[in-house]
Structure 1
């Protein structure tokens, strides 16, 4: 009986120990569920808000006509002020301020704060040195702009969590001001903390339940049952690993899509693709090809994971492009190697045609690393999703490029329009101010164009304008651009040309146009001549409108002196006007009878 009593006592002691252990674990889990989510969520939201604030900053700077001047002078254009005032309605920002380098507020959603200074030490120590500063604080509802305090769902005693972000604005490495954003993330923070607590509660409950079950089974069952539990635990770990892998893939695909949609050029897009594919499919080397403008070959654009790409491949050399669907080498008993995969060492590979709006725009090529063939084949669906993400991004970039090109090009001649010319001239002047590089502006007008247009018709006049535009465009080199201002008026921006070289280039353009022969129907149109005016920076002006006015005046001087010649704006002593030499052949049409 004593042995039985001792056995019962030992049994009770063991169960009491297990119970105490479970209660302690439950208490620790409860403490962790309540205390851990808040700092974790705050760190996550801080990272997200800092990324978002960069987008807010970019949006503000892109819409300001001249951010540097606005910050330095404090003069905000009415159009810019209207945009800034509307920004809180179109974003999560409820309040923001613009600062100059001294910390003075030059614009604010709270007009009464304009002119006040930011006196906190971090502005000088961090923000003025190009570092972003983040502050999280709890504010009363009355301190948050745009919040409806009379809503029946608003508790007046509740404080809101607000992020205050100071982002420096720099230009060429120089601090020119800062932006301060305020965003209320109370609801988002509360939602995330609640979800995390619920998730942790469930996981903790499951863990405690599993621990109790394992303890009970371990205590009451034999080694065979323990082995069965170990096998089950291994299966659960494998399942969890698979779920984590799937979650990671979904996250990476989401991030890939977000970054690709924000890319501004195909080069930037392919750089993003290379970096992401290294993480999404580490067991495969790959490359991307895109159709050239002529669509007769595909150009190699990027490769990763020790992969290589050829400069050009022919579409007929890929079985995936020829068959119009994904081609998997190594999945069938009989396979044929694509020409672009030569030399081939027998490893399996995929060829995914990249489609955009029903049209094939490129090729994604993936090849397995040695020894990873099984994993490579199992990732075909993931690779297909990557190809779809890349195709949508390429389509968006090309559509954006087309829309931008249409907005800055003249539809008749294909030259840049007046809007683009003015913006380019402004940037060229700013560059010349900083570097001291020479800059000249050439104004061109087709001689007697109205008379020519009335005599031969508008179609013939359009042909003349296209011919003149082509001659001007062919005469441009490097950063030089030709623009059609309107009607028969053109302008050419010549950076990095000395005044003497600019006048010589103008004369070459005049000669090039004079040498053009245009056929209309079955006959050749009369000889085309132009009058040219040249103005130099800074001799004839330091503002775009000044240079344009000076070159126009020189152009009118060329017309007054008989047309078909080059004249330099008054005020320069470098080069006198260059007049065209009349041809000596008796068959030559004199300038006054030309179109």
Structure 2
């Protein structure tokens, strides 16, 4: 009787507590509907207006004849002024100003502001450093230019206005800024109403669910309470199992996400080793992947005290030989895989890793000495891990293959123009920071069109492949050989002195001159190349300038008889001036002197 009374009192206390919680939740919900949307909407509007302001700035500067000069000198051209006046009619901006780097207003949609100076501290402390400044405030409606309410002087009518300063930066230098004003009242009110409606719906659903729960608890009887007590142990066990499964699913999801974002196989296997320690704590393991020759598998990773060999043969694993998962210890008669020796009798799995129907590797798992039972129950989870790893390996290899195809010339195997431009830009940036030398060699096969006309395009392709092979073999370290197109080639040589670059160019010329290309039953005529050399920063500081200088040196080599090396002239000399003397060299033997630059 005492137990029943205690249970009844406890049930009433719980019901009362839930009712109070329901009331408290209702109060919190009302507060959330009324108070929360405002700050959230303001943050959303600020992010949106910041993006819009960058587009407004771009539209303003694109409409100007010379925006950089206008902001530097603080002078607006008449044709620019006419176009700038139309900007407020085409956008949500009702007022904007153009300011120089010193803060002087040299154009404004309000002409009376021209000539004034920006006095706010944030202009010199924040905007001048290239940072966008945003603020919003409530103003009387009559301050809004061209607004239907601008004629009303009733101070009770207000509008919400956003003001944003967008700096103009050029080569890291602050040229000035544009100050935009836009009326966000209607947009803000609309967003707040939608946000309140959303919060109200969500809180309403939550309150309804809570009310239903309270109602169900109120209607519960003693029989149900006794039944819950009897089932508590079973439910606790089920909950523990569900938590374990949920953790495994979560870890599998995280493993898949990390594996899909890996940039290389080495990074992928490092992730596998770290995750498998948590996903399968009762097993030590290792991963092997087929080498490119597919005659052996290379050991890539191991975890939980497991080890892997440098190489194993496919015949050493029963799982690979049988083409399916091999479980040692599951049958009355088992055979140990050679790669698992020395073996101490513990159960283990060998999972072939498959990708697109092809076996790409092997995952080997062995039970820890004190967790054999748990190990045998984890086979399905281990199989899922093997499938995740197989898909990730296939994705990395496919991504590497597609990337290689996107940056390689299909005929010669050299890098294409796209990769050449990216590499040159990166090399120039590295040279700017570290001061290491950088040179460029432009190469062109002499009389290639005539060669194609006389011997056919197939023979011409063989010549291009032969020249490309010579150039590729000549590249060491970070040096890159490219084929931008046709019979033109380019070498990017970071870290080499100018004298070494000239030596390499001459050796390339000699190596190509010594090529013998056979086509069918006969040897093709001898090949020669002309080369143009340009050095950074002597002949240019931008990729296009350096390429142009190398090309002009190449044209000079061709004009002087081909089959020679020429160095670009300095930037102060006009490349087309016949009086300009370029350094060219043509060798007939390995001991011919190299012209000094």
| TM-score with structure 2 setting the length | 0.66
Between the aligned partners of 1:278 and 1:211, the Cα distance in structure 2 is 47
Alignment of 1:22-421 (within 5 A): 22-27=14-19, 30=22, 101-104=129-132, 116=165, 142-143=187-188, 157-159=193-195, 232-421=231-420
Q: Is the 8 A contact 1:22 1:212 kept in 2?
A: no
Between the aligned partners of 1:432 and 1:264, the Cα distance in structure 2 is 26
Between the aligned partners of 2:515 and 2:29, the Cα distance in structure 1 is 75
Deviation at 1:513, TM superposition (A): 2.0
Deviation at 1:200, TM superposition (A): 7.7
Deviation at 1:453, TM superposition (A): 1.5
Corresponding residue of 2:468: 469
Between the aligned partners of 1:11 and 1:351, the Cα distance in structure 2 is 57
Q: Is the 8 A contact 1:33 1:201 kept in 2?
A: no
Unaligned runs of 5+ in 2: 32-66, 69-126, 135-160, 168-183, 572-579, 592-597
Q: Is the 8 A contact 1:557 1:567 kept in 2?
A: yes
Deviation at 1:450, TM superposition (A): 1.5
Offset from partner CA, 1:161-211 (integer Å, 9 cap, x none): 9xxxxxxxxxxxxxxxxxxxxxxxx68x976x7888788888888999999
How many residues end up aligned between the 2 structures?
447
Corresponding residue of 2:149: none
Between the aligned partners of 1:424 and 1:447, the Cα distance in structure 2 is 26
Between the aligned partners of 1:199 and 1:243, the Cα distance in structure 2 is 24
3-state SS of 1:516 partner: coil
Corresponding residue of 1:525: 524
Deviation at 1:294, TM superposition (A): 2.2
Between the aligned partners of 1:34 and 1:277, the Cα distance in structure 2 is 46
Q: Is the 8 A contact 1:141 1:159 kept in 2?
A: no
Q: Is the 8 A contact 2:19 2:214 kept in 1?
A: no
Corresponding residue of 1:580: 587
Between the aligned partners of 2:294 and 2:3, the Cα distance in structure 1 is 82
Q: Is the 8 A contact 1:26 1:208 kept in 2?
A: no
Corresponding residue of 1:553: 552
Q: Is the 8 A contact 1:445 1:488 kept in 2?
A: yes
Between the aligned partners of 1:35 and 1:249, the Cα distance in structure 2 is 39
Between the aligned partners of 2:4 and 2:382, the Cα distance in structure 1 is 58
3-state SS of 1:159 partner: helix
Change (3 A) 1:206 1:432: farther
Change (3 A) 1:212 1:311: farther
Unaligned runs of 5+ in 1: 1-6, 40-73, 76-98, 107-111, 119-138, 150-154, 162-185, 218-228, 585-595
Offset from partner CA, 1:429-481 (integer Å, 9 cap, x none): 01101111110001111122112222211111101101111111111111111
Offset from partner CA, 1:385-415 (integer Å, 9 cap, x none): 1111121222222222222211111111111
Between the aligned partners of 1:249 and 1:197, the Cα distance in structure 2 is 33
Q: Is the 8 A contact 1:140 1:159 kept in 2?
A: no
Deviation at 1:24, TM superposition (A): 4.1
Alignment of 1:486-565 (within 5 A): 486-565=485-564
Offset from partner CA, 1:78-132 (integer Å, 9 cap, x none): xxxxxxxxxxxxxxxxxxxxx99543169xxxxx9795269xxxxxxxxxxxxxx
Q: Is the 8 A contact 2:15 2:218 kept in 1?
A: no
Corresponding residue of 2:577: none
Between the aligned partners of 2:30 and 2:319, the Cα distance in structure 1 is 51
Q: Is the 8 A contact 1:440 1:535 kept in 2?
A: yes
Between the aligned partners of 2:386 and 2:540, the Cα distance in structure 1 is 53
Between the aligned partners of 1:15 and 1:371, the Cα distance in structure 2 is 44
Q: Is the 8 A contact 1:356 1:392 kept in 2?
A: yes
3-state SS of 2:277 partner: helix
Between the aligned partners of 1:552 and 1:426, the Cα distance in structure 2 is 17
3-state SS of 2:165 partner: coil
Change (3 A) 1:16 1:361: closer
Deviation at 1:232, TM superposition (A): 4.1
Deviation at 1:276, TM superposition (A): 1.9
Is 1:568 the equivalent of 2:583?
no
More deviation, 520-529/200-209: 200-209
Change (3 A) 1:459 1:142: same
